[in-house]
A and B are shown apart, each in its own frame.
Chain A
Amino acid sequence: MGFNAHDSQNQGHAHHEEHHHEENFVSKYIFSQDHKMIGKQFLMTAVFMGLIAMMLSIFFRIQLAWPGEESPLLNTFLGDQWAPKGILDQNMYLGLVTIHGTIMVFFLLTGGLSGTFSNILIPLQLGARDMASGFLNMLSFWFFFVSSVLMLISLFVETGPAMAGWTVYPPLSALPKAVPGSGLGMTLWLFSMAIFIAGSLIGSLNYIVTVLNLRTKGMTMMRMPLTIWAFFVTAVLGVLSFPVLLSAALLLIMDRMAGTSFFLSDIIVGDEMLSNHGGSPILFQHLFWFLGHPEVYIVLLPALGLSSEIIATNSRKPIFGYKAMVASILAIGFLSFIVWGHHMFITGMNPFLGSVFVFTTLLIAIPSAVKVFNYITTLWKGSLVFTPAMLFAIGLVSTFITGGVTGIILADSALDIAIHDTYFVVAHFHIVMGMSAVLGMFAGVYHWFPKMYGRMMNTRLGYVHFWITIIGAYGVFFPMHFVGLAGAPRRYYDYSVYKEFDNSSLEMMLDLNVVITFFAIFAALGQAIFLFNFFYSIFRGPKAPQNPWKSNTLEWTAPVEHIHGNWPGELPTVHRWPYDYSKPGYEEDFVPQTVPLKEGEEGH
């Protein structure tokens, strides 16, 4: 099933007639090579992983709010080994925090945003029959699936899952004697991530080739919806940066198993004096963050792209400043490669190097600000329709602002000294990733559910889900800023230690930790509404119309019932950009891309 550029121009052929292959359950649902099915497979897996990671966070939030108190819930889920008498074990606390972060960043946000929406939307919005390689696409999902399984298995091994934080810095992550999770748990983590990276690379290459080669007639790069621009740049980021994480993982595997000293030097752990010399733990950090920083933009750009589409459609207005938006995506993509050191200001690396990263990091605030202003101006004088997707997209903009501005504080190295590794950082990245990106993902699910499943989700439940989520999540992460400013370090099992030296801080931290945990439980329970709505609607939702949101983009011209090759007969031809909403001279408030220009009409 190798599609080449020739095919897309082959307007005369009803392409799908060439392969009358019989489909059975396995080839349709399990080993599918159809991008629409693969996208849904990514979504299901990512949502499942996200639920697990959310549960893990509830477990350790219970420990943080009520340290030392017995919790039957913890004992039920974690058993006597990891929660004896219902009190979370200190090592397992670190394990839960580590796996929570790993799953959320990689499996939920990267897999669930890139994997799902790049797959579903790229061919459909470009007017292509499928991805450039259906086979590689299928592989990319199965690699993702296998790596997910490995990561989950690591939770159940006897010595515990990886426990060195999702950033797994050596020497802690290299030495089982330093923390038990650095034994088998860490090995599984590394192999899971290696497979994940392989799958991600295959997927990204596919997306890039499809965007460059398989656009339909009339679909120039500057007529592509912003979603595609976002997915395209994201894929490029992934191709360039994930291999560096793989190299870090391989070097770490060698330090752990082959006696090398890439990251180890002059170490005595427990009672054992290691003979490694000359390695640098800071090298790992450079390699890790060289991926780590682009990774957060790999997470965020798709969410921003989805929101551009959703906000424009539901404002009945063009997205403001399309060219500036494209330029911003490119600028963010480029700059994201030269800011990684801002995660390392106080590692002991040369301060001059730190200065360089301050400069580049504050630069990246500019295109981000431009995007925010463009979203807001899109709303201005629009005619807003509040679908659940629109609510989530607006929520994304709000949290992007809130999280983004605290990033400015953190980017300033002089200030970072005092708040690095405190809850201030935790608040910052959760608001941009745990809120902004997640809200973007929800927006995408609600908006493209009709395209994915041919049915509609329930709108009222969607409203309830949104309001619970945004109130709950802000309630979780806003107070964390204050806890962090008070000096509370991250990854601490118990803040009662403050009793020994600072009582006012102790009270504030314990109080706020309870507030945070309550909001966390509230928000977590609210997700049940989404889950119910999602699965119920897949089977019993009302049938979707052809173009429920009256949108201009190509995916809504494909039939509601999925067919291989996406369109029966010829591929659509594109005559205009996707943002002709409420254009003067047209009675309808939207003009799909396939509508030819009128005489004398100017295209954008």
Chain B
Amino acid sequence: MGKLGILLVIVLGAIAIAQLVRVYEYTLKLKKTSEHDINERDNNLNAWLMLLFMIFQFGGFIYLMLAYGWTGRGPSASLEGDETDWLLNLNFVIIIAVFFLTNFLLFYFAFKYVRKPGVRATYYPHNNKLEMIWTVVPACVLAVIIILGLRSWNKLTSPAGDGAVVIELYSKQFDWTARYAGQDNVLGKYDYKLTTANNELGILTTKTIKDAIDEKEKKIKAIDLELASDTVLADSVIEAREFTLSHNERILRSLYQLEQNHKSELDKNAEDDIIVKGTLVLCVGQEYEFNFRSMDVIHSAYFPHFRAQINTVPGMTTRTKFTPKTTTAEMRKIKNDPKFKYILMCNKICGKAHYKMKMDIEVLSKKDFEVWYTSKSKETFKLKYGATPAEESKDPAKEAGGTSGGDAPVNVPADAAMSMKKEDEINNEVK
């Protein structure tokens, strides 16, 4: 009933306005005025409204600037971000000046030059000198903006220095995983085809290749069995299975090649990598070179407080760098917010939970960071995943290893299995 009532009100309202307009038109006819002859009163009213609107526009802008101009990201938390903020402020000064000047002239002229009886407009069709001035002056200002901007851009996008610590951030629907490069500061290589429940990041070692091959072979076998069995399958199911089969066979062929070409000396780069979920922990004053990968769709690594951002793209590695300069504890004091945390947010539309795809970031003092890092340093990939076959015989406890589960490694694989399941649920939810 309520909806019907609202509909009724709208219809009656429209009819009421129609009647009012008819009345208005009859009065116009009586006055012998017309819609295209704008009378002095209406004209002057609008002229005044132009002026008033300008005051509203300027006032509103100033109010918003004062109330919200400095809320939000707070001061820059990285060394590189300091320069970004300086450049941003300079640019804002320029554009705000232009905004006020040109809007002022526009609305002031609109107010001042309203038609006055007996006053004719001035026939002023062009002035080339003026055109030159207001082409050259903006060009000069823009030249300054370009030069300063590109200088910063070059600095921000150039590779990190030699002392930079490398960290990889792996993005997927809908979370982030960090991979520290370990003692050698070299990230282990990867290949997406090696991704299994236990090897969420597709890291490349002799063992991971072997396990990936095993799993693929088992999967193909299972599909073959299903297709060869006596159970009657629907045509669409058969088609789907054969499709999956051909894709998996193709991937398996690639994996065999990968196995052939793999150099086992590369394993140690991967084996000392440390995979961390939940919180990205950084050391203040340390320059970081971040590498980014994506499992499924384009995401974006957005570090608002550090003024850094870069898309993560499936099929390639992207990179950026920054040096945190304020610890979390210090920033909490500055922002007067004891619960504040730095954050890594996804900033490229990636699906249903795009808005909550984030990872906490904690910046610790050098001392605290060392404590944290030491506590994590034992949780290397080698430990969690299992060593390559050559060493396995020395470590009987790890014989089971890999996919069969056995000694279920603590952090990564269990989460990986869980999160993979969750994605299935998310994607199937609509059905």
Question: A residues bordering B, Cβ < 8 Å?
Answer: 76, 90-91, 94, 159-160, 163-165, 169, 171-172, 175, 177-180, 264-271, 273-275, 277-282, 315-318, 320-324, 346-348, 351, 354-355, 358-359, 362-363, 365-366, 369-370, 372-377, 379-387, 391, 394, 397-398, 401-402, 405-406, 408-409, 412-415, 417-418, 420-422, 450, 456-461, 463, 467, 470-471, 474-475, 478-479, 481-482, 485-487, 489-495, 497, 500-505, 508, 512, 532, 536, 540-542, 544-545, 548-549, 579, 581-584, 589, 604
Which residues from chain A contact B114 at a C-beta distance below 8 Å?
A: 384, 386
Known contacts A401-B103, A418-B84, A508-B68; is-contact A172 B343 (Cβ 8 Å): no
> Measured between alpha carbons, how far is A471 from B105 in the docked complex, in Å?
19
- B71, CB-defined interface residue at 8 Å: yes
Choice from A383, A463, A482 contacting B46 with Cβ under 8 Å: A463
Q: How far is the CA of A375 from the CA of B126 in the complex (A)?
A: 12
Q: Does B92 contact A (CB under 8 A)?
A: yes
Assess the B84–A415 pair: CB atoms within 8 A.
yes
CA of A391 to CA of B45 in the docked complex: distance in angstroms?
12
Q: Which of B108-163 contact A (CB under 8 A)?
A: 109-110, 113-116, 119-127, 130-131, 134-135, 138-139, 142, 145-146, 149-150, 152-154, 156-158
Whether the Cβ atoms of B423 and A420 lie closer than 8 Å is no
CB-CB under 8 A from B35, the residues of chain A are 456-459, 541-542, 548
In the assembled complex, 6 residue pairs joining A and B whose CB atoms fall closer than 8 Å, in A order, are: A268-B296, A275-B247, A346-B300, A415-B91, A460-B42, A486-B304
Q: A318-B124, A500-B341, A542-B34 are in contact. Are A180 and B146 (CB under 8 A)?
A: no
Q: Is residue B396 within 8 Å, beta carbon to beta carbon, of the partner chain? A: no
CB distance B98 to A370 under 8 Å?
no
Q: Which of B261-312 contact A (CB under 8 A)?
A: 292, 295-298, 300, 302, 304-305, 307-312
B-side contacts of A159, CB under 8 Å? 430
Known contacts A490-B349, A542-B35; decide if A508 and B314 are in contact (CB<8 Å): no
How distant is B308 from chain A, measured CB to nearest CB, in Å? Answer: 7
A180 to B431: give the CA distance in the assembly, Å.
9
A237→B116 CA distance, assembly (Å)? 42
Q: Looking at B3, B121, B193, B298, which has the most chain A CB atoms within 10 Å of its CB?
A: B121
* CB-based contact A267/B307 at 8 Å: no
Closest CB-CB distance, B71 to chain A, in whole Å?
Answer: 5
Q: How far is the CA of A189 from the CA of B165 in the complex (A)?
A: 45
Q: Given known contacts A76-B3, A91-B352, A489-B347, what 14 new A-B pairs fall within 8 Å (CB)? A: A178-B173, A178-B297, A267-B296, A316-B115, A355-B153, A366-B135, A369-B135, A387-B36, A394-B106, A397-B106, A408-B95, A487-B302, A505-B73, A582-B121
Query: Taking CB as reference atom, which chain B residue is nearest A456?
Result: B35
Pair A324/B295 contact, Cβ less than 8 Å: no
Among B21, B109, B313, which residue has its beta carbon within 8 angstroms of that of A281? B313
Report the minimum CB–CB distance from B91 to chain A (whole Å). Answer: 5
Is B222 on the interface with A (CB-CB < 8 A)?
Answer: no
Q: Contact at A489–B110, with CB atoms within 8 Å?
A: no
Residues of A within 8 A of B356 (CB): 494, 497
* Structural contact, A417 and B308, CB atoms closer than 8 A: yes
Instruction: Establish whether residues A281 and B315, one from each chain, have CB atoms under 8 Å apart when the complex forms.
Output: yes
Asked if B389 is at the interface of the complex by the 8 Å CB criterion, the answer is no
Q: Which B residue sits closest to A397, measured CB to CB?
A: B106
**Which A residues are in CB contact (< 8 Å) with B127?**
320-321
Q: Is the CB of A175 within 8 A of B296?
A: yes
- The interface size bin for chain B is 35 or more
Contacts of B18 in A (CB 8 A): 532, 536
Please determine whether B430 and A160 come into contact, CB atoms closer than 8 angstroms.
yes
* Minimum CB distance partner of A317 in chain B: B121
Asked if B123 contacts A270 (CB within 8 A), the reply is: no
Q: Would you call B88 and A418 a contact (CB within 8 A)? A: yes
Task: Check if B185 is an interface residue, CB within 8 A of chain A.
Answer: no
Q: In the docked arrangement, what's the CA distance between A531 and B49, Å? A: 23
Q: Determine if B53 is an interface residue (Cβ-Cβ < 8 Å).
A: yes
**B343: which A residues are within 8 A, CB to CB?**
501-502
B354 at the interface (CB under 8 A from A): yes
Q: Is residue B355 contacting chain A, with contact meaning CB distance below 8 A?
A: yes
A44 to chain B, nearest CB (A): 19
Question: In the complex, what residue of chain B is closest to A408 when comparing beta carbons?
Answer: B95
Cβ of A148 to closest chain B Cβ, rounded Å? 24
C-alpha gap A418/B303 in the complex (Å): 8
- Contact among A91, A264, A268, A383 with B113 in the assembled complex (CB-CB below 8 Å): A383
Given contacts A94-B349, A267-B315, contact A478 B304 (CB under 8 A): no
Q: Are A467 and B49 in contact (CB under 8 A)?
A: yes
Q: Is the CB of A346 within 8 A of B72?
A: no
Option from A354, A358, A471, A549 in Cβ contact (under 8 Å) with B146: A358
Q: Given A351-B154, A459-B35, decide whether A478 and B430 contact each other with a Cβ distance below 8 A.
A: no
Question: Please, which residues of chain A bring their CB within 8 A of the CB of B347?
Answer: 420-422, 489-490
Name B169-211 residues within 8 Å CB distance of A. 172-173, 192-193, 195
Give the chain B neighbours of A540 by CB distance below 8 A.
22
Q: Which of A163, A358, A383, A408 contacts B91 (CB 8 A)?
A: A408
Give the complex CA separation of A221 and B350 in angstroms. Answer: 49
Contact: B73 with A487, CB < 8 Å?
yes
Find out whether the CB atom of A482 lies under 8 angstroms from the CB atom of B87: no
A398 touches B107 (CB 8 A): yes
A381 touches B47 (CB 8 A): no
A211 to B144, CA, bound (A): 40
Give the residues in chain B near A374, CB-CB below 8 Å: 131
Q: Which chain A residue shows the least CB distance to B92?
A: A409
Say yes or no for B56: interface residue by CB 8 A criterion: yes
Chain A residue nearest in CB terms to B13: A528
Nearest to A387 among chain B residues (CB) is B38
The answer to whether A379 and B341 touch (CB under 8 A), given A459-B42, A485-B72, A489-B302, is no
Q: Across the interface, do B92 and A318 meet the contact criterion of CB distance under 8 Å?
A: no
What 0/1 pattern do residues 247 to 261 of B give for CB contact below 8 A with A? 110110000000000
Per-position contact with A for B18-55: 1 when CB-CB < 8 Å, else 0? 10011011001000001110100011001101100100
Q: A180-B430, A408-B95, A482-B68 are in contact. Are A491 and B349 (CB under 8 A)?
A: yes
Q: What's the minimum C-beta distance from B24 to chain A, rounded to whole angstroms?
A: 7
Residues of A within 8 A of B130 (CB): 321, 373, 377
Is the pair B313, A348 in contact by a Cβ cutoff of 8 Å? yes
Interface string of B316-359 (1 = CB under 8 A from A): 10100000000000000001010111110111111111111010
Q: A421-B347, A450-B36, A502-B341 are in contact. Are A358 and B126 (CB under 8 A)?
A: no
Q: How far is the CA of A125 from the CA of B139 in the complex (A)?
A: 35
Determine if B372 is an interface residue (Cβ-Cβ < 8 Å): no
Interface hits, B51-87 → A, CB 8 Å: 53, 56-57, 60-61, 64, 68-69, 71-73, 81, 83-84, 87
What's the Cα separation between A604 and B125 when bound, in Å?
8
* Complex: chain A residue closest to B296, CB-CB: A269
Is A414's CB under 8 angstroms from B316's CB? Answer: no
State how many angstroms separate the Cβ of A164 from the closest Cβ of chain B: 6
- Whole-angstrom CA separation of A459 from B45 in the bound complex: 13
Minimum CB–CB distance for A248 against chain B, Å = 15
B157 to chain A: closest residue by CB: A351
B395 at the interface (CB under 8 A from A): no
Contact partners of B138 in chain A: CB under 8 A: 365-366, 369
> B98 touching A405 by the CB < 8 A rule?
yes
Asked if residues A384 and B149 are in contact (CB atoms below 8 Å), the reply is no
Cα A408 to Cα B25 in complex, Å, equals 47
Shortest C-beta distance, B279 to chain A (Å), equals 11
Is A405 a contact of B95 with CB atoms below 8 Å? yes
> Are A584 and B126 in contact, with the CB atoms below 8 A?
no
Q: Given the complex of chains A and B, what is the CA–CA distance between A317 and B119 in angstroms? A: 13
Q: In whole Å, how far is B318's beta carbon from the nearest beta carbon of chain A?
A: 4
Q: Which residues of A contact B68 (CB under 8 A)?
A: 479, 482, 486, 508, 512
Contacts A381-B121, A384-B113, A548-B36 given; indicate if A358 touches B60 (C-beta within 8 A): no
Q: Is the CB of B149 within 8 A of A268?
A: no
Residues of B within 8 A of A505 (CB): 71-73
Q: Cβ of A270: which chain B residues have Cβ within 8 Å of it?
A: 173, 296, 420, 423-424, 427
Instruction: Identify the 10 closest CB pairs spanning chains A and B, nearest first.
Output: A486-B72, A265-B315, A487-B304, A548-B36, A348-B318, A351-B157, A414-B152, A456-B35, A386-B46, A405-B95
